[in-house]
Structure 1
Amino acid sequence: MPIRPEHIVEALSQLGGQAHLDQIVPKVVEIVPDHQAVSPAASVRARLQENWAGSAHFKGNALFENVFGPAARAGVWRLTSDQLAPGNPDSVLDGAEVDIGTQEGRAILRVHLRRERSRKLIDDFKASLTNYACEACGDDMEAIYGQLGADYIEAHHKVPVAQIEEGQTTKLSDLAALCANCHRMIHRNGLMSVEDLAAHMRARRPSFAIAAESGKGEWLHDAPDRD
């Protein structure tokens, strides 16, 4: 598989939205272990240049920005702000999952999750759910926040979008329902599976039911006491 721009988007999302080339390259190799590049670093640099409006090699799809500009030669890259706009149908992110932060007075973008291109797929997945409990920790936002959290859940791709072959169909069964915290933890820890996170949470919080295991997402302490 060739190294594609979407693999770099995935790498940047896992690295917090902004990273040096020396960090981006090994993350891309982790995401695409069967890559065909003779030099992964050269391939990543080429894709960055082709998708950066400030490059002489720009091909018309502004996905990335060189943070300090070409003169600095610092090699620090991030996603472009227009790719994060919720109103942009080609946005790589769900606008609700973008953090805007500041560092020494300069606004920067810290990006966490990529957005699947088909909004309809996400909507259809959420409409198919019988409850909105997280499949990893069992939390239900309505149970915690009341009406404020009613029907809130995030759709997670069990196979990262960057690894889906072009033209491959994504089914509803390829998605998992996760709360925002668990969704971030899975992306923060690379290719961690929903089942692995559920087992981790079950070990840390044995008093709670885990949705991925029970399918109910019920609080165990709400059940009648059994002596």
Structure 2
Amino acid sequence: MPISVSHVVQALDDLGGEAQIGDLLRRVLEIAPKPHPKFARNVVRGRLYQFSSQTSAYKAGTPDLFESVDGLEANTGRWRLKGWQSAPDDTDVVLDEAEVDVEAAEGRRRLRVHLGRERSRRLIKTFKDSLTSFACEACKTDLGEVYGDLGQGYIEAHHRLPVAQLEDGATTKLSDLAALCPNCHRMIHRNGLISVEELVERLEARRQPYPMAAEPGVVWVEGED
């Protein structure tokens, strides 16, 4: 699978907004789905150059996301998210592959970038309207039962195949979406994409088995086999 610009943005954010290209590469390979390209370092560098107005590879109208910390001439290999400011640990990154949202402390500059592939809001609305239950497909939690009116009807739509990996012209059907609570949605995206089914298996494996119930009509007497 290709390494997308969203992987580079997420990796830099995970590393505090700034990193040496070697550290950046390692983090990208942790979050990008396999198989990785043979020359992954060159791909990451290409993404940095493509989305940095400091370079000749940058094209007008392209999101200006990255900047060389010490300047390209210094050749230190240190890059950061453009406009990033160090702040307390209160960043919020949208995990949707089609949109990258980097946000610092209140009142500070906010960088919001819509990449080329957009989600269909109509499709998401149609999907949610089609649901007969708002329980998470992975953990089975209904946020309405947890939070009452505050969580009633809240669920997130997860693309089983990330939008960023769709071929041009590809369409998404309702069956390509999964209804997930925010926690499960984030866990699926956390260290590279895993399937909903794999997350369900992990949750099931962690559940403690219940003691076997006695058959109806059978009375257990202490001390008897």
Give yes or no for TM over 0.5.
yes
Rg larger in structure: 2
Shift of 1:181: 0.6
The aligned runs of 1:156-175 (5 Å cut-off) are 156-175=158-177
Q: Which amino acid aligns with 1:125?
A: F
Q: Which amino acid aligns with 1:92?
A: E
1:66 aligns with 2:67: yes
1:154 aligned residue: 156
| 1:119-174 C-alpha deviation (Å, 9 max, x unpaired) | 22222211111111111101111000000001111111111222211111111111
Higher mean C-alpha deviation, range 46-55 or range 135-144? 46-55
Show structure 1 runs of 5+ residues with no match: 110-114, 209-225
Q: Which amino acid aligns with 1:173?
A: S
1:76 aligns with 2:76: no
1:181 aligned residue: 183
Higher mean C-alpha deviation, range 187-196 or range 23-32? 23-32
Question: Is the Cα–Cα contact under 8 Å of residues 10 and 162 in structure 1 kept in the other structure?
Answer: no
**Structure-1 separation of matches of 2:123 and 2:194:** 22
Residue in structure 2 matching 1:13, options 2, 5, 10: 10
Structure having the larger proportion of residues in helix:
1
1:142 aligned residue: 144
Question: Is the Cα–Cα contact under 8 Å of residues 104 and 110 in structure 2 kept in the other structure?
Answer: yes
1:31 aligned residue: 33
1:42 aligns with 2:45: no
Question: Is the Cα–Cα contact under 8 Å of residues 103 and 110 in structure 2 kept in the other structure?
Answer: no
Q: What SS does structure 2 have at the residue aligned with 1:177? A: strand
Question: Is the Cα–Cα contact under 8 Å of residues 144 and 151 in structure 2 kept in the other structure?
Answer: yes
**Please, what TM-score do these two structures have when normalized by structure 1?**
0.65
**Structure-1 separation of matches of 2:34 and 2:187:** 20
1:126 aligned residue: 128
What root-mean-square deviation, in Å, do the aligned CA atoms of Structure 1 and Structure 2 show? 3.9
Show structure 2 runs of 5+ residues with no match: 85-91, 112-116, 217-225
Question: Is the Cα–Cα contact under 8 Å of residues 159 and 178 in structure 2 kept in the other structure?
Answer: yes
Q: What SS does structure 1 have at the residue aligned with 2:57? A: coil
**Please, what TM-score do these two structures have when normalized by structure 2?**
0.65
Shift of 1:11: 5.0
1:92 aligned residue: 99
1:202 aligned residue: 204
Distance verdict in 2 for CA 1:126–1:80, change over 3 Å: farther
Higher mean C-alpha deviation, range 24-33 or range 40-49? 24-33
1:190 aligned residue: 192
Q: What SS does structure 1 have at the residue aligned with 2:62? A: coil
Question: Is the Cα–Cα contact under 8 Å of residues 12 and 80 in structure 2 kept in the other structure?
Answer: no
